[in-house]
Amino acid sequence: MNLLKWLLIKKLKHPQQKSSGFTLIELLVAMILGVLVITPLLGFMINILDTDRREQVKTNTEQDVKASLEYIKRDLQESVYIYDADGINEIRKRLPKYDKKDTHFPVLVFWKRQFKEKGFNLGTTEKDDAFAYSLVAYYIIKDNNLTWSKAARIGRFQLSDGYGPTDAIKTSTRDKGFQRFSLKGTGDLKTKMNAWQPSSETITNDIVTLTDYIDQTTIDTSKNPAPACPLPPPNTPPAPPIPPMQLIPKYGGSGDVAPTASVNTRGFYVCVDSTNTAAEIYIRGNAIARLQNNNINFDRNQTSANSYFPLSSIRVKGRGFVFTK
């Protein structure tokens, strides 16, 4: 009995050490549970960020399209004459980049009377406003320039007359290659405007990019068919019939008004009524090109992706006019 008592006392004086920490199995189980919980949360977070990014590029592209239309509208409101498809067919060879027809197409070309605030000096302190005619052209461009996206872009070209109180000053402020249209000779206004020629000087003005990420998808009868201009409203006799607006570019046509190769796209096109100095401008952006470099073409059959190609349009009427006998 004394022996048992002694052993019990010894046992109480020297208790067994308790193990601290986790076993390897416990750590593995905790890691597996952590992965099972964190992975779905991380995937959910990535999905939210990707969705937000996609919605943001849609918004940015739509805003760029509308801003471009607004800029063109303000520019076109100063026009005195807008070239229709017949006119583009006549003067394209006299415009810049004619040697690059497969990558540059002048969609919207017009003459405008531009206001020059305090354009020239009347004396040592006084200045007077001036007006000058300018030839303006908006191009659809699709080339391999690495500065820009793999989508198309819209560029603006302007050739302006000089202004000032003397011929010498007018000459010094005139763009090289500029020559004003002539209203002399026979024929109607359209015939005279289509006969425009630049001067003998080499044109040095370049095309400046207005906006990038314009739809570059080439015309396809099933996936991306060519557009058409709206029909004119019916007239009431004895009023003369209203002529239809002319589509530029002339898809499927021939001559210089027909687009070729990479510019055979409906990312930027217009419908023009030269008689009334009016035009409808259509621009379709390409938001997918902001996200990836491949598979960026429009396909009307893929309705879920069509929201990445925002289309906007605007109708503009020029405030000026050109009078000819």
- pLDDT category at 13 given cuts 50, 70, 90 is low
- CA distance linking residue 135 with residue 110, whole number of Å: 6
Cβ 83 vs Cβ 322: under 8 Å: no
Residue 279 identity = A
- pLDDT category at 14 given cuts 50, 70, 90 is low
pLDDT of residue 36: 76
Angle, CA 276 vertex, CA 271 and CA 279 arms, to 5°: 25
How large a percentage of the chain has pLDDT more than 70? 87
| Average predicted confidence (pLDDT) for the chain | 87
Q: Pairing state of beta strands 152-160 and 278-284?
A: unpaired
Q: What is the DSSP string of 289-317?
A: HHH-SSS----TT-GGGGGGS-EEEEEEE
Look-up of token digits 């190609």? 309
- CA distance linking residue 242 with residue 233, whole number of Å: 7
- pLDDT category at 90 given cuts 50, 70, 90 is very high
At 167-182, the pLDDT tens digits run 787 788 889 999 999 9
pLDDT of residue 38: 79
Q: Is the pLDDT of residue 276 over 80?
A: yes
H-type alpha helices, the chain: 2-13, 24-76, 85-91, 167-173, 189-194, 288-291
- CA distance linking residue 250 with residue 199, whole number of Å: 28
At 136-152, the pLDDT tens digits run 999 999 999 999 999 99
pLDDT of residue 232: 81
Cβ 53 vs Cβ 45: under 8 Å: no
pLDDT, average across residues 149-159: 97
Q: Phi then psi for 86, rounded to 5 degrees?
A: -60, -40
- CA distance linking residue 268 with residue 282, whole number of Å: 6
